[in-house]
Amino acid sequence: MKAPSRRGVSSRKPPADAPMSKWRYQLLVGLVLLGLGLLVWRVIDLHIVDRTFLKGQGDARTVRVDPIPAHRGMIVDRNGEPLAISTPVVTLWANPQDLPDDGILRLQLAKALGQDLDQLNERIDYYADREFMYLRRRMTPAQAQSVLDLRVPGVHKREEYKRYYPAGEVIAQLVGVTNVDDQGQEGLELAYDSYLAGEPGRRRVLKDRRGQLVRDLEVLREAEPGGNLMLSVDQRLQYLAYRELKNAVDENGADGGVLVMLDARTGEVLAMANQPSYNPNNREGLDPAGLRNQAIVDAMEPGSVIKPLAMSALLETGRFPLNTTVNTTPGSMRIDRFTIRDVSNNGVLDLAGILRKSSNIGMAKLTLSLDEPVVPDLYRALGFGQSPETGFPGEATGTMPAPVRWSSSQWAALSYGYGLSVSPLQLASAFTAIVNDGRRMPASLLKQPVAPEGEQVISADVAAQVLNMMDKVVEPGTGARRALVPGYSVAGKTGTVRKTGSSGYEKKTYRSLFVGIAPVSDPRIIAVVMIDHPREGAYYGGAIAAPVFSRIAGSALRVLDVPPDREVSVDE
């Protein structure tokens, strides 16, 4: 049975090849023409109307602003001899994502860098998701060029500077060091880092898609080099001081030592040597103990070398004529619950004899005969317990006991060098008052354009009297005779200090000290020598430290062209 058909409705579809209706064709053509018109307009707009957009996009991919490293200032000695200089080096870096996987190129790159291939591949894999990694830092330009000549994709260079220290270990602790980024880390390199570093510049450069430099376009800001720093140190004297100190430490099997030499007239540091030391140009296997500038940052009990300063305080009272005598028999003395002793029973001693024999009992009796704390008061005036204000990082202030509830034993101990602590630099600076008519000169690590006026801390007469006493301490037949310098007069004082440990003063560990002045007729140098824990037999300051002063003072006075002032026969 047939289904009825619908009237007026055709069930046939139009053939596939039927022509497109006119209005649809016109719409399609119009859309195409409109799109082309918009593209043409955009091209015209970018190239003529708004051409800066394309230029900016292109520059963003090829023009870069690179830093211009600033040349770090030199550190020189008082005569202009270089102690720290910067040399140009090249740092190689890479974009790990651009480095090829080719094994041959990787092997050539590793060999040129002087690295192990496996380790290089591990580092590349580690930084694979980043765009920067160092390949090798601070290479010489020739070494870096041998790597760049391989033309390995993704390898780039950066110009930098590396610090070099011509004097090496001789003056390492004073000058200090910089890190891999040429920033001060120790010593004067750290203290004056902002002054030495300068200000980096900026330049606009054109680079290709691999980051290689194509052309310098312009300098946006010139690099400002750092300032040069002139120290007070004389490199000639520094070498002499370091050599003699190192020999003394080695010969006596000591833990270390310090030698500080000042210009007696100005307080400027002419030499400052430390043992142990290190080579700042090669820090592999560095012993951290060698970094410490013990002359400035370490404080110690000075012992008997401080007695001339205490004697100055006693004389300043006017209560002790030079012919004053003290009976030190029987060589020991009980104060509070402590017993102090002299090395031997010296009997009756005058003031000069107390210094010459280094009598603890004589100093204690004189000090305890006063009601005023004249000795600690003078110590403070000389800078003990205060910063020496040299600007050196970590400089020690030392310690001075507070004037509260002092016992008699504490008061007496200060007069012979116990119960307080000072740095070797503070000790040397204090003795400038003895040679400058009672005026203490502040210690300086930098060369001074004019000599400072100093601070009057004792009278000129007392200073002259104490210097004369110290002159008699260093005579043939005395315990300090080994400090004598042929041709020159020498004043000085020995000291032997017991070191402290976890349970108080140790029985068999000592510091051997000597403070010397030369020549007495017109003082030019003051030196402090400290040998820490000598183990080879003798340990007294006169036997260990005094000979070091003799050798360094004799050489230094000749270098400084100081004429001889006395014929001295050295009696060993």
For 260-308, the DSSP string reads: EEEETTT-BEEEEEEES---TT--TT--GGGG--HHHH--B--GGGGHH
Q: Given this model, what pLDDT does residue 511 score?
A: 95
pLDDT of residue 106: 87
Rounded (5°) CA angle 157-158-163: 125
The predicted structure's pLDDT at residue 531: 97
Closest to 514 measured CA to CA, from 275, 261, 305: 305
The closest alpha carbon to 268, from 8, 497, 446, belongs to 446
pLDDT of residue 572: 44
Residue 37 burial (CB count, 10 A): 10
Among residues 62, 30, 35, the alpha carbon closest in space to that of 43 is found at 35
Full set of structural domains in the chain with CATH: 68-230 (3.90.1310.10), 235-279+294-400+407-559 (3.40.710.10)
> For the CA atoms of 261, 262, 268, 273, what is the dihedral angle to 10 degrees?
10
Q: How far, CA to CA in Å, does 15 sit from each of 25, 268, 367? A: 18, 111, 132
pLDDT of residue 17: 58
Is 512 a residue of the active site?
no
Q: In terms of Cα–Cα distance, which of 278, 69, 235, 285 is closest to 162?
A: 69
Beta carbons of 139 and 97 less than 8 angstroms apart: no
Please tell me the predicted confidence (pLDDT) of residue 15.
59
> Whose CA is closest to 113, among 139, 131, 95, 132?
139
Residues 244 and 279 sit within 8 Å (Cβ to Cβ): no
Q: What span, in angstroms and rounded, lies between the C-alpha atoms of 33 and 26?
A: 10
Give the containing element (helix H, strand E) for 460.
helix 460-473
Quickly list H helices, 45-165: 51-62, 103-113, 117-126, 141-148
For the entire predicted model, the pTM comes to 0.82
* Distance from C-alpha of 327 to C-alpha of 314, rounded to nearest angstrom: 17
**How far is Cα of residue 433 from the mean position of the Cα atoms in its chain?**
28
What DSSP string describes 219-270?
EEE--BPPPPEEBS--HHHHHHHHHHHHHHHHHTT-SEEEEEEEETTT-BEE
Q: How far apart are CA 128 and CA 116, in angstroms?
A: 18
Give how far Cα 312 sits from Cα of 104, 374, 418, 436, 438, Å.
Answer: 79, 10, 17, 14, 10
- Residue type at 128 in one-letter notation: A
The one-letter code for the residue type at 193 is D
Q: What DSSP string describes 164-216?
A: E-TTGGGGHHHH--B-TTS-B-SHHHHHTHHHHH-B-EEEEEEE-TTS-EEEE
CB 328 within 8 A of CB 345: yes
Q: Is 223 exposed, middle or buried (0-12, 13-18, 19+ CB in 10 A)?
A: middle
**3-state DSSP helix/strand/coil % of the chain, to nearest 5:** 35, 25, 40
**3-state secondary structure (DSSP) of residue 420:** coil
The gap from C-alpha 307 to its chain's centroid, in whole angstroms, comes to 32
The first and second tokens of residue 89, run together, are 């080096």
Interaxial angle between packed helices 408-415 and 374-381, expressed in degrees from 0 to 180 and rounded to the nearest 10: 50
- Report the pLDDT value the prediction gives residue 100, as an integer from 0 to 100: 87
Give the integer Cα–Cα distance in Å for 297 and 421.
12
Structure tokens, 552: 């360094």
- Nearest-Å Rg of the Cα atoms of the chain is 39
Name residue 525's amino acid: I
Q: Is 397 helix (H, G, I), strand (E, B) or coil?
A: coil
Residue 46 DSSP class: I
- Closest by CA to 157, choosing from 177, 134, 178, 176, is 134
Task: Tell me the average confidence (pLDDT) per consecutive run of 10 residues in the chain, 572 residues long.
Answer: 49 58 77 81 69 56 73 94 92 88 88 90 89 88 89 86 93 94 93 91 70 69 88 97 97 96 97 96 83 95 96 96 94 91 92 95 95 93 95 95 80 93 97 97 95 95 97 92 94 93 83 97 97 90 95 96 77 46
Sheet holding 269-275, edge to edge: 269-275, 256-263, 525-532, 504-518, 491-501
d(CA 565, CA 518): 10
Catalytic residue among 86, 232, 304, 429: 304
Pairing of strands 75-76, 229-230: parallel
Total residues belonging to the chain: 572
* Token output for 205: 């450069």
* Helix H or strand E encompassing 159: strand 155-164
